[in-house]
Chain A
């Protein structure tokens, strides 16, 4: 079985052989330095990657506080995995893979307990964009509609689209992070965009 549990035991993660030279990834080199005992390298990784991680997780689990806990959990796992780490994929791909698994588990658990609070929008309430009042209101309205539409997407579609559009991962990296084929990524992203467009039309974009 090519795919299975990843080596952190966090679930689906296909290490694959796609990355030609992962050691060319500066973050993978930092992780190797950390494995060799350089703690500052880990701190650099943490500072560099937690902002995109929190952004991704907050839109996945739709709760900023929970997203922060999960982001911390991701880095605890990375910390604990240091001795087993091998640069088989880009660091960010590996990190988002762990994050995705944790997010899915968290959503499953919340759904089983029927405690998904959500739609209060608190976690995604937007800062003042700094434009004039009318433009400001328009921009906020567009953002809020989009956030609402995003929340309604199936989880895997949402993950694939966010990783592509907001975090800039390539389809091959998304495939590794989500543990699916490239063809599935293509389809997930296509359906995500079509689904979002439709939801936006429904709420009168």
Chain B
């Protein structure tokens, strides 16, 4: 196959309907007079038929299940790191609140005029902590801070604590 200098490289695009609008009609006009282009076109067309009739390589039966398992593992890694991180943060925050509650208790016992206001503020913070963090924060009469690990143990990992 000697090939056609003028159009040789355009045969594939012609076959694929990808010659631009100007070139398409010119190639149409050229084709009947050029044996090389005619042969190349037929060879490429036959090759395409063979390529399209190659059996499709299908995913194996376990492919999809493997993917969802892999995705679940990939998703699982993040929350686990997040959990440890936020667990430590919680301990720090609880300690901070405990210090605040201690200060409040001190002010209450000192009959400080700011005490009522501060109590309200701390109660508000307390509620946010208790609601938002889903673990119990208990304050007993001795102003000791207790918190329950039950929620952490029962936590299913679906969201950050």
The residues of A with any CB-CB pair to B shorter than 8 Å are 46-47, 50-51, 54-55, 58-59, 64, 67-68, 71-72, 75-76, 79-80, 123-124, 126-127, 129, 139, 142-143, 146-147, 161, 164-166, 170-171, 186-187, 189-190, 193-194, 196-197, 200
Contact = CB atoms under 8 A, between A and B. Distances in A.
Interface in B42-79: 43-44, 47-48, 50-60, 63-64, 66-67, 70-71, 74
Given A166-B52, A170-B18, A190 B63 contact: no
B104 interface: no
Interface residues of B, number: 30
Secondary structure of the B contact surface, majority rule:
helix
Interface of B: 9-13, 16, 18, 40, 43-44, 47-48, 50-60, 63-64, 66-67, 70-71, 74
B18 A186 contact: yes
B102 to A, nearest CB: 42
29 contacts: A46-B64, A46-B67, A50-B67, A51-B58, A51-B59, A54-B58, A55-B57, A55-B58, A68-B60, A68-B63, A71-B59, A71-B63, A72-B67, A75-B71, A76-B74, A79-B74, A143-B50, A143-B54, A171-B13, A171-B18, A186-B10, A186-B13, A190-B10, A190-B11, A190-B12, A193-B47, A193-B48, A194-B40, A200-B47
